[in-house]
A and B are shown apart, each in its own frame.
Chain A
Amino acid sequence: MKEQLEAIQAEALERISQTEDMKELQDIKVAYLGKKGSLTGVLRGMGKLSKEERPVVGEIANKVREVITTAFDGKSEKLEMARLEQQLEAEAIDVTLPGRPVKVGGPHLLTSIVEELEDLFIGMGYEVREGPEVETDFFNFEALNLPKDHPARDMQDTFYITNELLLRTHTSPVQARTMREYKGEKPVKMICPGKVYRRDTDDATHSHQFTQIEGLYVDKNVRMSDLKGTLDTFAKKMFGEEREIRLRPSFFPFTEPSVEMDISCKVCNGAGCNVCKGTGWIEILGGGMVHPKVLEMGGYDPEVYSGFAFGMGPERIAMLKYGVNDIRQFYTNDIRFLKQYHKA
């Protein structure tokens, strides 16, 4: 009987390995392991065996069943894989046809620049402060050492609403407001981005509305060299590590000493070209040491505290960094313009 079982096993394995058809494989399984299968038939004849022989043959029979089942499973999986492969092959598509477009919007170029600047200064420990666009004459001018009739008021043509109300000409009033809020009791380290307005006719380089970011740091022992170091860090992060800065004396009523900052021209690397008008330098921002009167009006004792402030225009930065040549482009919102600057 043992020989009989081994013969069945050999025959079954042979047939399983020969077939390449799932249906036939199923039939083979039934033919050996099914109720009427040959292995089953052999097992049925086990009753005729002696008590001693029965477990021995039983063990062999079980082993044969196991071997056949394993072979069947293996073959079945193999055939299934082949079938699937064939099916997937048939499902092939033309991958060169265009995909379904996903709409991606994006921020305005100025927002990108403002947020980049915000993040940069947040990293240096500055908080971001905001303030009203309709300001009082006091906060826009007087608190910044620009009393009424001060000639320097001519530097900023102003949209007035009443004698005392105006559209802010710079974001500096936010500095004045913050100092008052902090009551001269703790350091102020802030930037203030926002919209500002000047009574200008719109052309390629002027806009009656534009954006500004100003920074203010007031603390004990703030030095002018700190301003220089801070601006240098800013310029290198914003415009590239290889950029150099230079400070030039300037005048703003709210700072003394006042500076203007140039960066070395990226186009010609300082050699002089059209972009920098041959000077090798490009003007980026204005700043200086906070004027003692401004500190005083903000509630800070100029004998104890000192500080620096700076201000810049994101439009100008965009124009320099991305070669935008007309400030009106920012406000016409031409989709073709905005999309150019919208990338990750």
Chain B
Amino acid sequence: MLVSYNWLKNYVDLGNLTPEELAEKITKSGIEIEGVEYVAEKSTDVVVGYVMSCEQHPNADKLNLCQVDVGDQQLQIICGAPNIAEGQKVAVAKPGAVLPGNFKIKKVKLRGIESNGMICSLKELGIEEKYIPTDIADGIFVFPEDVTVGENVDELLNLNDAVLELDILPNRADALSMLGVAYEVGAILDQQVNLPDEAVTITKDNAAENYISVEVEAADLNPYYGAFIIRDVEIKASPLWMRNYLMAAGIRPINNVVDITNYVLLEYGQPLHAFDYDKFESEKVLVRRAANGETMVTLDDQERTLSEKNLVITNGKEPVALAGVMGGANTEVTAETKNVLLEAAYFNSKSVRGTVKQTGLRSESSTRFEKGIDPNRVKKAGTRACLLMQQFAGGKVAAGAAEFDELDRTENVVEVNLEQINKRLGTEMTAEDVASILKRLKFDFNQGGSLFSVQVPTRRGDITIFEDMLEEVARIYGYDNLPFTLPQGAGLAGALTIRQSLKRKVKNYIEGTGLMEAMTYSLTDEVDIKRLISPEISEHKSTPVALSLPMSEEHKYLRLSILPEILQVLSYNSARNQTNLGYYEVGSIFVSDEPTVTKQPDEKLRLSGALTGKWLEQPWQQEKKDVDFYIVKGIVEGLFDYLKLTVSFRQAKIADMHPGRCAVLEMSGQTIGFIGQLHPILAKELDLKETFVFDVNLEIVFAAYDSIPSYTLIPKYPSVARDIAFILDEDVNAGDVKELIEEIGAPLVNRVDIFDVYQGANLEEGKKSIAYSLLYQHPEKTLKDDEVEESYQKIVASVNEKFNSYVRS
């Protein structure tokens, strides 16, 4: 809502407050002022001039040579405006004047003739182009005849006015009118509100009912409809002050009748609509729900197809307006209009909201209906518009209005008591304080000691319960005046849950390995929704969860894997010459097992990461190492070691992964993620070098985690180390051999490590050597040599038998 400071002064005494000071006070009391703008940038030395003569420039077809009286002198001015004419009163920038944009006016010669000043258009005077009436968009501004020659134009054109931009939240629909703002400012400044004049001189012997009748079929959507008749209007420009205020409020003036409906709309917050009575083609207004498929052409010349959800105004046969939203083209007020049918109605907000949503038409009128208007101001606004049409359009106003009226105008009564207020706010107000605040708000109330029974005016339909009134009292009392206290309640212990602190620990660990945390979008596209999904998720035939109305194809599905998003991050960075990268994210994926989603999907926490480029680089020592499978595996193994959980790795094939360098992670036989190298084809598509990823189901990991480590006795007896190197076929997995050693060696073999892997010279083709070091230890005694030897031989025999291997000598 744009509020003109000068216009507001008509209703409430603003004292010596500057617009900026006023804005600050309004903001602090409840309605945020988003900005204060001036109608025009300051100009100097622009006065009203009288065009005494106007002839064509002898040397230029499109220029006119004018003699202009500016009061203290006569100036010869050359003017190129198409609408300049002798006898006009115009805005003249005298030589030495400065116009907006620091445009200095000097004496100049144009095609050989001297020009001493400039005749100005509104645009040149700094008014925003979109508010300038279309008929003078390309020309100069012409004043009404009654202005005084030589007078400064600033005040005449309201150029020095400031406009406050109010950010109106849904609860304060009352402030969508000048009167509403006046009440608000009156309460803040403790000032009276001066209401506008609504006294119309009624044309005798004619009642509005003689011209029109009103029937409403949908009283639930339209509880009040008033039809006023104004005859014999003269369509012309509205008075200058009205045009000024409309432009300041962001509305382009059109003609007196339309301007008056807009002016009253802004003044009262009550939308009005003027029909050309002679085009109405009936003497009856019928308000009804539209028939399905019925059409009408609205003022913007668009044909609209309607449904029974839309409320329409008809002439008994066909629609003439989309109720509360837009009028019809067939009954539009034009320059030829003589008689006006003026509508002042109350339309149900949900109905208007529905029509606005359906048609996408949102206007000053529909906004007010949607947010709710004051039932007690509907008819008053109609009367006020009639008065203005009588004054400024020469209309004859018929008596009264043809009406349909089932409107509820009862005022809410809200009870508050002082103790309750102080208890809830933490204040020490007195009953006098509260009474004074209610008076400032212009609320009627009955007071019995500390109990107040407040009669809430209908303009403040937002106030229905104690808490609403509490806010009114608090904001006028001033939030600044509330004390600072801390809650008195019994102290509660705050702490992270085990899961929350575990999540932090996992992240800290991963960061300790050198990875940077990424934060990516949960919404993804058609391609990425299918990529790099961990087998334990994909095997459950989960349905991607899709948005019903996505904003773009890029953000359409809720992700089933974080990896594609992290890979995008790698791509983004490597395209910017950042080549050695490691990122991880802990976040949710969204899994639904329904073919069509009806329930909330499972949100499963995952840890995913990706690495590419150099892992280690120390140029002057010639140390260099690219990221490889075992680096990533080490990071993951380290995590499980840190969590004291056992994880195993099984060779696997997963789509979009390198077929030979990929493993699934298993805990107690259950798949909980995967690691490996990204398929080179996908890497290339993403412009990435060799890239390695990991993906871990944190839900399963967290469930298995035991926050209290179990106590194991530290062994007292000496251990014995033995090494074995096997010559194996090259396709045997080192881990399988290790598992067998552990199985056969249990319980004496405490630990098995791989310390050498060799393939090449001195070995047959297709063979490799893997060396294991075994640690024997018994918890309760010192092992004897023959015990170790016996176990060792058993292990050698078992491995050789199972893997067709032999011990390297």
| A contacts, CB < 8 Å to B | 97-98, 100-108, 110-111, 115, 118, 121-128, 130, 132-136, 149, 151-152, 154-155, 159-162, 164-165, 167, 187, 189, 195, 197, 199-201, 208-209, 217, 219-226, 228-230, 232-233, 246-251, 253, 256-260, 279, 289, 291-292, 306, 330-336, 338-339, 342
Instruction: List the 3 shortest-distance A-B pairs measured between CB atoms, nearest first.
Output: A103-B514, A225-B426, A257-B471
Max chain B Cβ within 10 angstroms of own Cβ: one of A130, A187, A217: A130
Shortest Cβ distance from residue A332 to the other chain B in the assembled complex, whole angstroms = 6
> Is B160 among interface residues, defined by CB-CB distance under 8 A?
no
How far is B613's CA from A108's CA once the two chains are assembled, in angstroms? Answer: 21
Q: Which residue of chain A is the closest to B169 with respect to CB atoms? A: A251
How far is B28's CA from A250's CA once the two chains are assembled, in angstroms? Answer: 10
Shortest Cβ distance from residue A22 to the other chain B in the assembled complex, whole angstroms = 36
How far is B465's CA from A256's CA once the two chains are assembled, in angstroms? Answer: 10
Beta-carbon contact of B494 and A333 below 8 Å: no
Given A232-B484, A334-B576, output 5 extra A-B contacts at Cβ < 8 Å: A122-B496, A134-B601, A134-B603, A189-B492, A257-B471
Shortest Cβ distance from residue B394 to the other chain A in the assembled complex, whole angstroms = 40
Residues A228 and B484 in contact in the complex (CB < 8 Å), given A103-B514, A134-B601, A292-B467: yes
> Is B321 among interface residues, defined by CB-CB distance under 8 A?
no
24 A-B residue pairs with Cβ-Cβ distance under 8 Å, sorted by A, are: A98-B618, A105-B582, A128-B496, A133-B590, A134-B558, A135-B600, A151-B371, A160-B547, A161-B547, A162-B597, A187-B490, A197-B523, A208-B523, A220-B489, A222-B487, A228-B485, A232-B484, A248-B27, A249-B474, A251-B169, A256-B468, A259-B479, A331-B520, A338-B518
**Residues of B in contact with A, size category:** 35 or more
Shortest Cβ distance from residue B507 to the other chain A in the assembled complex, whole angstroms = 7
Stretch of B247-255, B452-460, B548-556 contacting A (4+ beta carbons < 8 Å): B548-556
Q: Which residue of chain A is the closest to B515 with respect to CB atoms? A: A105
How far is B558's CA from A24's CA once the two chains are assembled, in angstroms? Answer: 84
Q: Which residue of chain B is the closest to A188 with respect to CB atoms? A: B492
How far is B511's CA from A338's CA once the two chains are assembled, in angstroms? Answer: 13
Residues of A within 8 A of B511 (CB): 104-107
Residues of A within 8 A of B471 (CB): 249, 256-258
Chain B positions 486-523 with a Cβ under 8 Å from a chain A Cβ? 486-497, 500, 504, 507, 510-523
Beta-carbon contact of B169 and A133 below 8 Å: no
> Is B241 among interface residues, defined by CB-CB distance under 8 A?
no
Beta-carbon contact of A292 and B465 below 8 Å: yes
Q: Which residue of chain A is the closest to B483 with respect to CB atoms? A: A225
Max chain A Cβ within 10 angstroms of own Cβ: one of B426, B493, B578, B583: B426
How far is B618's CA from A208's CA once the two chains are assembled, in angstroms? Answer: 42
Q: Which residue of chain A is the closest to B24 with respect to CB atoms? A: A279
Shortest Cβ distance from residue A322 to the other chain B in the assembled complex, whole angstroms = 15
> Is B427 among interface residues, defined by CB-CB distance under 8 A?
yes
Q: Which residue of chain B is the closest to A308 with respect to CB atoms? A: B487
> Is B425 among interface residues, defined by CB-CB distance under 8 A?
yes
Beta-carbon contact of B482 and A247 below 8 Å: yes
> Is B717 among interface residues, defined by CB-CB distance under 8 A?
no
Chain B positions 316-355 with a Cβ under 8 Å from a chain A Cβ? 349-350, 353
Beta-carbon contact of B482 and A335 below 8 Å: no
Residues of A within 8 A of B545 (CB): 134, 161
Residues A151 and B482 in contact in the complex (CB < 8 Å), given A106-B511, A289-B467: no
Max chain B Cβ within 10 angstroms of own Cβ: one of A121, A167, A342: A167
> Is B573 among interface residues, defined by CB-CB distance under 8 A?
yes
Chain B positions 511-538 with a Cβ under 8 Å from a chain A Cβ? 511-523
Beta-carbon contact of A161 and B517 below 8 Å: no
Residues A251 and B494 in contact in the complex (CB < 8 Å), given A103-B514, A165-B600: no
> Is B691 among interface residues, defined by CB-CB distance under 8 A?
no
Q: Mark B769-794, 1 if CB is under 8 A from A, else 0.
A: 00000000000000000000000000
> Is B546 among interface residues, defined by CB-CB distance under 8 A?
yes
Residues of B within 8 A of A102 (CB): 514
Shortest Cβ distance from residue A130 to the other chain B in the assembled complex, whole angstroms = 8
Residues of B within 8 A of A224 (CB): 424-426, 474, 482
Residues of B within 8 A of A208 (CB): 521, 523, 551, 555
How far is B514's CA from A339's CA once the two chains are assembled, in angstroms? Answer: 12
Residues of B within 8 A of A222 (CB): 487, 489
Residues of A within 8 A of B474 (CB): 224, 249, 257
Shortest Cβ distance from residue A118 to the other chain B in the assembled complex, whole angstroms = 7
Beta-carbon contact of B572 and A334 below 8 Å: yes
> Is B621 among interface residues, defined by CB-CB distance under 8 A?
yes
Beta-carbon contact of B170 and A106 below 8 Å: no
Max chain B Cβ within 10 angstroms of own Cβ: one of A115, A133, A260: A133
Residues A221 and B484 in contact in the complex (CB < 8 Å), given A111-B517, A165-B600: no
Residues of B within 8 A of A251 (CB): 169-172
Which of A111, A219, A331 contacts B487 (CB under 8 A)? A219
Beta-carbon contact of B424 and A133 below 8 Å: no
How far is B550's CA from A200's CA once the two chains are assembled, in angstroms? Answer: 10
Shortest Cβ distance from residue B492 to the other chain A in the assembled complex, whole angstroms = 4
Q: Which residue of chain A is the closest to B496 with respect to CB atoms? A: A128
Shortest Cβ distance from residue A272 to the other chain B in the assembled complex, whole angstroms = 10
Residues of A within 8 A of B518 (CB): 108, 333, 338
Beta-carbon contact of A256 and B514 below 8 Å: no
Residues of B within 8 A of A219 (CB): 487, 489
> Is B623 among interface residues, defined by CB-CB distance under 8 A?
yes
Which of A106, A134, A279, A306 contacts B600 (CB under 8 A)? A134
How far is B424's CA from A291's CA once the two chains are assembled, in angstroms? Answer: 12
Beta-carbon contact of B504 and A115 below 8 Å: yes
Beta-carbon contact of A136 and B600 below 8 Å: yes
Beta-carbon contact of A162 and B578 below 8 Å: no
How far is B558's CA from A239's CA once the two chains are assembled, in angstroms? Answer: 35
Shortest Cβ distance from residue A119 to the other chain B in the assembled complex, whole angstroms = 9
Which of A133, A189, A220, A225 contacts B588 (CB under 8 A)? A133
Residues A149 and B353 in contact in the complex (CB < 8 Å), given A103-B513, A107-B507, A229-B485: yes
Residues of B within 8 A of A105 (CB): 510-517, 582, 584
Residues A123 and B548 in contact in the complex (CB < 8 Å), given A105-B515, A106-B516: no
Beta-carbon contact of B603 and A132 below 8 Å: yes
